[in-house]
Structure 1
Amino acid sequence: MQQKNKYKKIEPASGAIIMAGGIFLIGTVQAFPVLDIQFGKFLAFLVLIAWIIIYKSLSVQFFHRDFLIPFIKHPVNSFAIGTWIAGVSVLCNVFVKYFPTIILITQAMAILNTFLWLFFLFTCFYNFRRLFFENQNYPVHGVILLSTVGTQSIILLLNNVFFQFPTYFSEAIIVLGFMFYLAGIILIGNRYVRQHNWTLINDWSNTNCIIHGALSITGLAIVTTNTFTPAFITVFWVIVFLLLIVIEAIEVVRAIKRIKNYGWNIGLFQYNVSQWSRNFTFGMFYTFSLVMHLNPYYPIPEKLYNFQHAFMIFWAWVVLSALIIQIGIYIKSQIETHTRTKEGNISHTSAS
């Protein structure tokens, strides 16, 4: 029995760390030329090292029955597989940008990631069916929208790493991802409507920022593959922008309430792996806006064009600041964990 569990356990959603760091290097870093030109390859290498460490542990954990079967059967947590897929997709796009000479390795990773996505599709259909027909009262949250994120990341990956796929193929994958999004939004809305005693402090999840993040990656998939019309994507961008404002306003109110109830440390600076989803969604909206802004296939009204330009200057600093703060929170948690472990060992030695 001990042999079965003899491996270092890791949060299944840890792929979000790679998503957050990678999307910064794909998009937002372009607003900071010094970081991009002088340190871009070095930062990309750090993301690669982090990916190796995280995915090594995830891979070992994945092949243990005591983890895999209960994980896949969990109606909500199983959607965290989307972070594994999106993490690899983002990393491959980082490779395309900074290490184009290793394209064969990148393509091999893309193929393996596509097979993982096909497995993920099976778990998505299986658990969406359960949530709609068997577990209607389950407290779902934004993690189920990783079904959209993982799916759209695949079409971005295939188009960037291989070649421009036929429009109908790209549209089909994008529409599938959007259908997952609608299903997820219905379930999240149902959870908060039916559960009358929920509170913003304790029942609003960090992952709910994926409500706008999943649409941002959908928009990025559209403007990368040149699918749908300029009028559609113009309206779509405005909707995503408004959702971002609404969701993040809720997050600000939640943060204020948590500080009042728990203080700054526990209320705001206590590490949780789900916090990386916010960094990813912030960076994804910037990247969506940037690619749309630069793509001549999508002409937009001049006023909106100028607004996007001004907003991206501001938003780039928000993305960078949020990423630095999150890295700081992570380092703080590692120091605290190390300190507690050391103190525990000293206490155990003294007691012996």
Structure 2
Amino acid sequence: MKTVENKNSIDPASGAIIMAIGIFLYAAIDAFTWVNHITAKILIVSLIVLTAIIYKSLIQQLFNKTDRILLLRKPVPSFVIGSWIAGISVMSNVIVKYFPDKSEAVQVVMLLNTLMWLGFMASCVYQFKELLKRPTAHPTNGVVLLSTVATQSVVIFWVKLYPSLPEGLLIGAISLGAFFYFIGITLMIVRYGRGSRWTLIDDWPSTNCIIHGALSITGLAIVSSEMLSGRIIMIFWLLVFVLLIGVEWLEMVRAVKRIQKLGWKKGIFTYHISQWSRNFTFGMFYAFTMTMHDTPYYLNRFYSFHEEFLHVWAWIVCLFLIAEIGLWVGSNRYLLERKSKERVS
């Protein structure tokens, strides 16, 4: 959670931790029948505490002029604010699911989150304009697609708690998220296709998995709203599935190359905040598939395949999350031990 430059500052991308754990507790955890409701609630309360700790630090840095300027002056890193919005949205959905009596309090939080989203949208428009001026001059990556993730995360909550919202508003918001995705993916294609020379090891960050993750959450927003026909959604799901396989195949190739160059520990078993994006995208694809599978409106010829796929994918989501938590805990223990030694010396 701490930045490299300042061990006392929280990494601006720490909202991704809440996104990743939250989406697991919202969807994939239901596949594990041995996790009873009480255990799930204990996990939720623990996540609420962690959310409060993380967002307290994030808000403090946002109100610090120096930290705010450092975050907003570079077009690409500024998009991590989208993880803050998506984190709150996912957390809000989790709370409403397990503590429905707290929905009124959650609505207040989401009102503030919606206002932050509106500010973030203004920032996205400005930053995209800056990136489009010189598309090959910036190391554009999947972080810019958090503009889509943040937008669709807000829509999903609106649909859940405000089913009477005008359809035009929902269509407009989902379309805005899709528009941002189109701009972001175009910039990434230009960056990797026409930009300076790059290598898979050094220039393909974990956040590029948001290529499929942003589409998964778009699909979840559409399915939750029961928009589009079952056939179109089936084709859309196939597109996301193909992208997931393609991007994660690249990740496996990258992992092999990193192991060959850096060894197992530095190659794949060293913690980095961006790794949480993979846990979120895996969990979001599960949520998209599960909701599509459980909605009679979208019954299709993939129904039986989805049934089996969800059983397998739930374990993949769970195991990757456990591994990431292990790396995170190990990293923070290392930092605490180093701080302790520094005090002693």
Q: Distance in 1 between matches of 2:298 and 2:164?
A: 17
Report the TM-score, using the length of structure 1 for normalisation: 0.94
Match of 1:345?
343
Amino acid at match of 1:121: M
Contact map agreement 1:167 1:227 (CA 8 A) in 2: no
In structure 2, distance between residues paired with 1:140 and 1:337: 30
> What are the residue-to-residue correspondences of 1:139-150 with 2, within 5 Å?
139-150=139-150
Aligned to 1:316: 314
* TM-aligned CA distance change 1:7 to 1:321, over 3 Å: closer
**Which residue type is aligned with residue 74 of structure 1?**
K
**Correspondence for 1:12:** 12
Give the match for residue 84 of structure 1: 84
* Residue 35 (structure 1) aligns with: 35
CA distance in 1, matches of 2:48, 2:242: 34
Deviation at 1:344, TM superposition (A): 2.5
Deviation at 1:140, TM superposition (A): 0.7
The CA distance in 2 between the partners of 1:278 and 1:96, in whole Å, is: 25
- For residue 328 of structure 1, what is the aligned residue in structure 2? 326
Deviation at 1:162, TM superposition (A): 3.0
In structure 1, distance between residues paired with 2:94 and 2:297: 24
Report if the CA contact (8 A) 2:223-2:291 is conserved.
yes
CA distance in 2, matches of 1:186, 1:7: 35
Do the aligned residues in 2 keep the contact of 1:25 with 1:94 (CA within 8 Å)? yes
- Tell me what 1:256 maps to: 256
Q: How far does residue 32 in structure 1 lie from its aligned partner after superposition?
A: 0.5
Compute the displacement of 1:216 (Å): 0.2
Provide closer, same or farther for how the CA distance between residues 163 and 7 of structure 1 changes in structure 2, counting only shifts above 3 A.
Answer: farther
Contact 1:170 1:227 survives alignment (8 Å): no
User: SS of the residue aligned with 1:33?
Assistant: coil
Contact 2:82 2:150 survives alignment (8 Å): yes
Partner of 2:3: none
What secondary structure is seen at the aligned counterpart in 2 of 1:122?
helix
Structure 1 residue 296 displacement after superposition: 1.0
Alpha-carbon distance, 1:175 to partner = 0.8
Please say which structure displays the higher CA radius of gyration. Answer: 1
Unaligned ranges ≥5, structure 1 = 1-5
Residue number in structure 1 paired with 2:303:
305
Other-structure match for 1:206: 206
What is the match of residue 238 of structure 1?
238
Matched, 1:279 2:284: no
User: Within 2, Cα distance between the matches of 1:322 and 1:59?
Assistant: 29
Post-superposition shift, 1:209? 0.3
Question: How big is each residue's C-alpha offset from its partner over 1:62-113, in whole Å with a ceiling of 9 and x where there is no partner?
Answer: 0011011231221001100100000000010011111111111100011000
CA distance in 1, matches of 2:8, 2:201: 31
The runs of 5 or more residues in structure 2 that have no matched partner are 1-5
Equivalent residues of 2:136, 2:196 under 8 A apart: no
Deviation at 1:345, TM superposition (A): 2.6
Contact 1:213-1:285 within 8 A present in 2 as well? yes
User: CA offset at residue 179 of structure 1?
Assistant: 0.6
Q: What is the alpha-carbon distance in structure 2 between the residues aligned to residue 165 and residue 343 of structure 1?
A: 56
Partner of 2:158: 158
Residue type of the alignment partner of 2:192: Y
* Kept in 2: contact 1:217–1:285 (CA 8 A): yes
**TM-score, normalising length from structure 2?**
0.96
Provide the rounded CA distance (Å) in 1 between the counterparts of 2:80 and 2:36. 30
Separation in 1, partners of 2:128, 2:158 = 26
Distance 1:122 1:136 in 2: 23
Give the CA deviation at 1:34. Answer: 2.1
Cα distance, 1:171 vs structure 2: 1.2
Amino-acid identity (%): 46
Shift of 1:143: 0.3
What secondary structure is seen at the aligned counterpart in 1 of 2:165? Answer: coil
2:189 paired residue number: 189
Give the drift of 1:164.
4.0
- 8 Å Cα contact 2:135/2:190 also seen in 1: no
Out of 164-173 and 318-327, give the one that drifted further: 164-173
RMSD of Structure 2 on Structure 1 (CA): 1.4
Counterparts in 2 of 1:7 and 1:268: CA distance versus 1, 3 Å: closer
Q: Structure 2 vs 1, CA of residues 299 and 164 (structure 1 numbering), >3 Å: closer, same or farther? A: farther
**SS at 1:35's partner residue?**
coil
Q: Give the equivalent residue in structure 2 for 1:125.
A: 125
Q: Which residue of 2 aligns with 1:3?
A: none
After superposition, give the CA deviation of every residue in 1:138-182 in whole Å (9 maximum; x if it has no partner). Answer: 111100000000000011111213334222211111111011001
Which amino acid in the other structure matches residue 148 of structure 2? T
Question: Is contact 1:110–1:161 with CA below 8 Å preserved after alignment?
Answer: no
Which residue is equivalent to 2:173? Answer: 173
